[in-house]
Each structure stands twice: as C-alpha cells, then as structure tokens.
C-alpha cells in the first residue's frame, strides 16, 4: 500500500495569538503538527503494521519551517516527507490543488489520510477537495477504519454519539477524527531515527498548479475576546440553586 | 438578482429552528431565497418556510431507501444538481454535524469556495465571518467565484418572521448515486430525539470536578430537568467518564448556546475555544481562582456536589 498523509503546520493550540496589521497572526509562536493529523499519521502507521510492505509518505504545504512538522510525522512512523514549499497564504482550494499535484507527481496513492480539520483555519474541507480532484470517495471524522477485500469500511462520528458506517472503494480519502486512535507518542530513539529519514522539498511553483475558479481570502482579523464581568451568586447551596433557576427564567429566558 | 439556495434541515417533520435562523440571516443581504428540501415537504414545512421569507421551495425528491437518501454523497450531488438547474449563486447550509459532511462535498463538487461555521454572512458582497485559531480570532473572509458556499453556525441568528408567498417545485428525475461510497449502517445512539450539542439552547457541562464516571449522573439528571444537553470537558472524556461525543472545546464541539453552565471545569484556553461564544456562561466551581470564574457571567462558588442536587430538587 502506498499511503499518503497530508499534514499541516499549525500554531500550538495553547499559544497566545496576536494579530498583525488587522490581517494575519504573529507567527512567532510555536508551531506543531495539527492535532487531528496526529490521528491520521497514527492510523497510517497501524495500517503499515498490518501490511509491512506499505510506504507512508507525509505531505505538507507550507513555509520552510513546516519541515519540523514533517519531522514529527516521521518520528511517529512515516517513512519519508514531501514538503511543498511556499510563502503564499493558500486557501483550501489552492491547498488541495497543491497537495493533489504533489501526490500525483510522487506516485499513485492507495489511501490518503488527512485530519478532519486544521485547528488554525478550521476549514473542514481540504479532504473533500483532494477527493474531488482525484475522483476518490471521501469519509470524514473517521472513528474506525477496516480494510477488507479491497474496500475501506469507515465508521464516522456525527454528534451526540451517532455514527454512520460507509464502505469506500480504494483509493479513498479519510479525514481522521479524534475517535480513530490514540496518537503515537514518539520515543527519543524514534526522534533520533527520524532525523535520518528523507524529506524532499519542492517549490509550489514547480508543480504548475492551475488556478482555482474561486478563492477565500482573509480581509480582516480581530481578536475574539468576550470580556465578561462575573457577578457572584452567594449564599447556601439551596439559595445558589434558586438564584440560578431565577436567572435561567428571568434573564436568559430559557426556562418557563 | 443573486439567488441563494438554503439547504434545510428537519427534525420530527418540521424545519429546525436553526435552519429558520439561517433563512433570516440570508434574507438580510439577498432578496431571492430558495429552500432546498431533501426530507419531504408537507404543508407545515411550506408554511414554516414561507413565514420566514422563502419564495421558492425545491423538493429534491431523493430515493426512498434510507441507505441511499441518507448517504451524504447522494445528498451533495442532489444539492449540486439543484444549484445548477436553478442557477443559484450562493448555497447556505448549517455547520451542523450533518452539514460538516455535506457542505464541503457540495463545495468540492462545484469547485466553489466555502467558509464553514460562519457567524455572519453578506451575500451581496460575498463576505463571511468565522472564528479561527481555536476561537481566538474572528476572521472576515472575502469569497470570489461564480458560486459561493457558506456553512452557518447554528444559532448564529434567531429566526424572525417575514411572511411571503412560496412556490413549491419538485425536482424529479434520477439522482446520481455514487458507486464509490455506500452507506452500510448507521447508529443513532441514545441521542434519538435529543438535541445535538451544537444546536442546544442550554448546555450543562461537567469537568474534572465531577471526579468519576458515576458522579456524572448529576450532570445528566440536571440536563434532563433543564431540557438541556449534557457536555463535558476534555479531562472528563480522556478519563473515560463520558464518550467523546459530549466533548466541548478545541478538539470537541464548538457551541453557542443561550446558556452554558460549566460545573467543575477550570476553563482552559482549549475549553474556552469551544464555548466562548455562549450568550451566558454560569460557572459552578469550588476554586474561586479557576480561569473560568474570571471569564463568566455568573460565578457560583461552592461545591457542585451540594449545588447540583439542590438544582435537581428545585427544578
């Protein structure tokens, strides 16, 4: 099996985000492998354990610094990395085109993994666009995956404990959700070993990607702070409970 | 004139309130509203849609078999067909659990730009507002392209009445059924008839302070009495006290209820990422220095094991 895993280099979720020029974030914060992509890499590694002659290729579109995210994927068990380097800000349409072109140039995929979304732009769509460009079926927010008889059986999570199970023909695209597995935590020897694994870099311009017929571009950014001024509800527990009920009825008007 | 198609979600044979709110939002910046209905049209549905400003209702008439009609790939193809047949310029749908598996499919098939989880849209200008970076940033996004797709956060706008006359059109004919993806089974869990977290008016969520799985019954019992939806912090999920489906936060659901009651939740930056847009936050916590106590509307300092049973008793 030739397994591609699309990974994204994103700011640490715990980082404080500062906005520059009302347009973009200050990028001098720690960047990491997108958390959902950790599940994607982990699932690819599990597949390789079942089918040892598989190859796992981690693909990333980003700036030079995104190499560290590819290294994280390699430490988790990917065999090699592919960095499509660009300083441009790419929307989902452009990103999917770049990843599609890079994968196509590299080889013929049997399965492509992504995370179900990235925690920076939160677009939730790149996996579907990659699928459409290849003509492959897509399942997202996967919580389990079984490959049997040349098909992928994928259970996807909806909210509230609801699930749907799909059968996809191969090749296919799987958007990993949190329920899929527990991400591999690389050991120090894994990290050392990963330094010897190859990363190929190619410039986005080398891929001759055609322009998309549409775009989504950020034109303004503001910090989302909702400063609330807390009021205290004091008294005995019974009084506190009574006051909560009063607030729900009279102020929030959500109880009758 | 630009025409907007609105993908309607239904529940118990009625149009969801969150879908009606989305119609109100779309109607602020466009005149021509077309509802795209996939789950059957009744007089009641027609009345609901017309009362909120929809001029044209398109019945997509999907095949009866549930494994076909519930397949998001089939639904997306039907929406795309309607967009093309009706010459729609914009497509709006909810960023609900179903919408997250439908709208990106529609956008990918149309090769059209999409912004998910919009809290505001301006269809005239092709602008969308959505939160990014785990809810730390509000971004205004300009879309370009012949067709544009918007996923609207449930409860972004409450529905407002705007009575008009609506025509119903049936879009009969064969529907594309992809052979590459089939829906083989589904499990509606114990959520039958229960609202999803993202659409809830009231959420009561528990965290580390609940201490164990058994104590979580306090949250469930309170939720039932309040007609609220139960939620949880990541700690409670990671400890195995409740399933992942209940998780609110950065890597869980992002919610905007009228009221969010956080019980025994310290309020990490990642938890706030999922609930900071709640209209009202009530924090119940023993620790007055917990982060959530400084960024809520009402702080209830005390032992949740005293306060929650009182709530249950008094409701």
Residue A216 domain flag: no
Residues of B in contact with A119 (CB under 8 A): 133-134, 250-251
Whether residues B65 and B135 fall in one domain:
yes
- Taking CA–CA distances from B238, the nearest residue in chain A reads A182
**CATH code where residue B231 lies:** 3.40.50.1220
CATH code of A160's domain:
3.40.50.620
Task: Flag if A214 and B144 touch (Cβ within 8 Å).
Answer: yes
Residue from the list A121, A159, A233 with its beta carbon closest to the beta carbon of B97: A159
Q: Are residues A202 and A232 in the same domain?
A: no
Q: Is B170 on the interface with A (CB under 8 A)?
A: no
Q: What is the mean pLDDT of chain B?
A: 94
Query: How far does the CA of residue B139 sit from the closest CA of chain A (Å)?
Result: 4
pLDDT at B301: 96
Ramachandran area for residue B195 (φ above 0: left; ψ -120 to 50: alpha; else beta): beta
B210 plus B285 within the same structural domain: yes
Average pLDDT over every residue of B207-217: 96
Q: Which of A41-45, A193-197, B203-207, B247-251 has the lowest mean pLDDT?
A: B247-251
User: Based on the domain organization, do B116 and B165 belong to the same domain?
Assistant: yes
Q: What is the pLDDT of residue A117?
A: 96
Tens place of pLDDT per residue across chain A (256 aa): 999 999 999 999 888 899 999 999 999 999 999 999 999 999 999 999 999 999 999 999 999 999 999 999 999 999 999 999 999 999 999 999 999 999 999 999 999 999 999 999 999 999 999 999 999 999 999 999 999 989 999 999 987 678 999 999 999 999 999 889 999 999 999 999 999 999 999 999 999 999 999 999 999 999 987 789 999 999 999 999 999 999 999 999 999 8
Nearest to A35 among B143, B251, B307 (CB): B251
If asked whether residues B124 and B210 sit together in one domain, one would say: no
Tens of pLDDT, residues A93-107: 999 999 999 999 999
pLDDT of residue B190: 62
Q: What is the pLDDT of residue A160?
A: 66
Q: Which of B170, B205, B222 is the last residue of a domain?
A: B170
Inter-chain residue contact A122 with B130, CB threshold 8 Å: yes
- Sort out which chain B residues have CB atoms less than 8 A from A251's CB and list them: 280
Domain assignment of residue A218, yes or no: no
B141 and B220 part of one domain: no
The kind and range of the H/E element at B104 are helix B103-110
Q: B163 with B237, same domain?
A: no
User: How many structural domains compose chain A?
Assistant: 2
Look at A93 and B146 and tell me if their CB atoms are within 8 Å: no
Q: Which of residues 39-78 of A touch B (CB under 8 A)?
A: none
A245–B259 CB contact, under 8 Å: no
B221 interfacial to chain A (CB closer than 8 Å): no
Residue A31 sits in the same domain as residue A92: yes
Would A82 be classed as within a structural domain?
A: yes
Same domain, B212 and B164: no
How far is it, in rounded angstroms, from Cα A23 to Cα B177?
Answer: 42
Reduced 3-state DSSP string for chain B = CCEEEEECCEECCEECHHHHHHHHHHHCCCCEEEEEECCCCCHHHHHHHHCCCCCEEEECCCCCCHHHHCCHHHHHHHHHHHHHHHCCCEEEEECCHHHHCCHHHHHHHHCCCEEEEEEEEECCCCEEEEEECCCCEEEEEEEEECCEEEEECCCCCCCCCCCCCCEEEECCCCCCCCCCEEEEEEECCCCCCCCCHHHCCEEEEECHHHCCCHHHHHHHHHHHHHCCEEEECHHHHHCCCCCHHHEECCCCECCCCCEEEEECCCCCHHHHHHHCCCCEEEEEECCCCCHHHHCCCEEEECCHHHHHHHHHHHC
Q: Confirm whether A239 is domain-assigned.
A: yes
What pLDDT is recorded for position B128? 98
- Kindly indicate the confidence band of residue B252, based on its pLDDT and cuts at 50, 70 and 90: confident
Q: What residue of A is the nearest CA neighbor of B105?
A: A128
Predicted pLDDT of residue B232? 96
Residue with tokens 């891929």: A207
Amino acid B174: pLDDT = 87
Q: How far are the Cα atoms of B33, B199, B227 from residue B44, in angstroms, in the given order? A: 18, 21, 25
> Shortest Cα distance from A63 to chain B (angstroms)?
18
Of A14, A159, A242, the CB nearest to B198: A159
> What domain count does chain B have?
2
Taking only residues 80 to 109 of chain A, the set having a beta carbon closer than 8 angstroms to any beta carbon of chain B reads: 91-93, 96
Q: Does A234 touch chain B (CB under 8 A)?
A: yes
B222 located within any domain: yes
Same domain, A97 and A149: yes
Q: How many CB pairs under 8 A join A and B?
A: 271
B188/B268: higher pLDDT? B268
Please indicate, yes or no, if residue A214 is contained in any of the structural domains.
no
Asked if A124 and A239 sit in the same domain, the reply is no
Segments forming the whole domain that contains residue A185: 2-207
Residue B278 has pLDDT above 80, yes or no: yes
Q: Is the pLDDT of residue B194 over 70?
A: no
pLDDT of B191 higher than 70: no
Kindly write down the DSSP assignment for every residue of B59-102, as one continuous string: E----S-HHHHT-HHHHHHHHHHHHHHHT-SEEEEE-SHHHHTT
One domain for residues A191 and A150: yes
User: Please, which residues 10-29 of chain B have a Cβ atom closer than 8 Å to chain A?
Assistant: none
A235 in the same domain as A139: no
Name the band, by pLDDT with cuts 50, 70 and 90, for residue B43. very high
pLDDT score at A126 = 98
Claim to verify: residue A80 and residue A180 sit in the same structural domain: yes
Specify whether B201 is located in the same domain as B283: yes
pLDDT tens-digit map of B112-129: 999 999 999 999 999 999
| Residue A252 and residue A149 share a domain | no
Q: Is residue B190 part of a domain?
A: no
Closest partner CB to B186 (pick from A14, A165, A252): A165
Are A19 and A139 within one domain?
Answer: yes
B92 shares its domain with B143:
yes
C-alpha distance from B167 to closest chain A C-alpha (Å):
31
- State phi, psi for A223 to the nearest 5 degrees: -65, 140
pLDDT band at B296 (very low <50, low <70, confident <90, very high): very high
Q: Which structural domain range is residue B224 located in?
A: 197-314
**Same domain (yes/no): A153, A256:** no
Q: ipTM of the predicted structure? A: 0.94
Is B107 in the same domain as B42?
yes
């Amino acid at each position: 099996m030739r397994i591609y895993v699309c990974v994204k280099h994103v700011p640490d979720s715990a980082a404080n985000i500062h906005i520059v020029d009302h347009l973009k974030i200050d990028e001098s914060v720690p960047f990491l492998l997108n958390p959902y992509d950790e599940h994607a890499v982990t699932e690819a590694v599990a597949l390789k354990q079942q089918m040892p002659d598989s190859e796992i290729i981690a693909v990333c579109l980003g700036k030079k610094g995104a190499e560290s995210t590819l290294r994280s994927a390699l430490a988790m068990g990917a065999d090699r990395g592919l960095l499509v380097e660009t300083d441009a800000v790419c929307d989902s349409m452009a990103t999917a085109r770049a990843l599609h072109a890079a994968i196509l140039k590299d080889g013929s995929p049997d399965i492509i993994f992504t995370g179900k979304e990235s925690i920076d732009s939160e677009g939730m769509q790149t996996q579907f666009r990659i699928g459409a460009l290849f003509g492959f079926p897509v399942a997202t927010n996967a919580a389990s995956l079984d490959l049997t008889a040349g098909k992928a059986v994928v259970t996807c999570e909806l909210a509230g404990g609801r699930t749907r199970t799909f059968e996809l023909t191969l090749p296919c695209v799987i958007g990993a959700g949190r329920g899929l597995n527990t991400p591999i935590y690389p050991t120090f020897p894994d990290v050392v070993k990963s330094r010897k694994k190859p990363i190929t870099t190619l410039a986005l311009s080398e891929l001759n990607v055609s322009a998309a017929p549409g775009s989504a571009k950020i034109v303004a950014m503001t910090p989302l702070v909702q400063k609330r001024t807390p009021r205290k509800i004091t008294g005995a527990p019974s009084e506190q409970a009574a006051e909560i009920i009063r607030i729900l009825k009279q102020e929030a008007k959500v109880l009758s | 004139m630009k025409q907007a198609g609105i993908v309607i979600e239904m529940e118990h044979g009625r149009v969801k309130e969150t879908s009606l709110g989305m119609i109100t939002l779309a109607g602020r910046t466009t005149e021509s509203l077309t509802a795209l209905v996939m789950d059957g049209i009744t007089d009641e549905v027609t009345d609901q849609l017309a009362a909120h400003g929809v001029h044209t209702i398109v019945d997509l008439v999907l095949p009866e078999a549930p494994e076909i009609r519930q397949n998001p790939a089939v639904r997306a193809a039907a929406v795309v067909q309607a967009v093309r047949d009706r010459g729609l310029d914009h497509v709006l749908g909810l960023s609900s659990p179903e919408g997250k598996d439908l709208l990106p499919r529609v956008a990918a098939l149309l090769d059209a730009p999409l912004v998910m989880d919009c809290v505001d849209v301006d269809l005239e200008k092709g602008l969308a507002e959505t939160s990014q970076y785990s809810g730390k940033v509000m971004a205004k996004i300009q879309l370009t392209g012949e067709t544009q797709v918007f996923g609207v956060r449930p409860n972004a706008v409450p529905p407002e009445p705007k009575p008009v006359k609506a025509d119903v059109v049936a879009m009969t004919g064969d529907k594309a059924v992809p052979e590459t993806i089939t829906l083989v089974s589904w499990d509606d869990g114990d959520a039958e008839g229960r609202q999803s977290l993202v659409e809830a008016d009231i959420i009561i969520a528990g965290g580390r302070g609940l201490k164990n799985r058994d104590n979580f019954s306090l949250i469930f019992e309170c939720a039932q009495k309040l007609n609220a939806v139960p939620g949880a912090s990541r700690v409670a999920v990671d400890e195995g006290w409740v399933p992942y489906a209940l998780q609110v936060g950065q890597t869980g659901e992002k919610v905007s209820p009228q009221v969010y009651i956080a019980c025994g939740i310290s309020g990490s930056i990642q938890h706030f990422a999922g609930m900071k847009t709640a209209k009202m936050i009530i924090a119940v916590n023993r620790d007055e220095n917990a982060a959530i106590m400084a960024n809520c509307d009402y702080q209830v300092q005390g032992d949740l094991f005293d306060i929650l049973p009182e709530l249950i008793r008094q409701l």
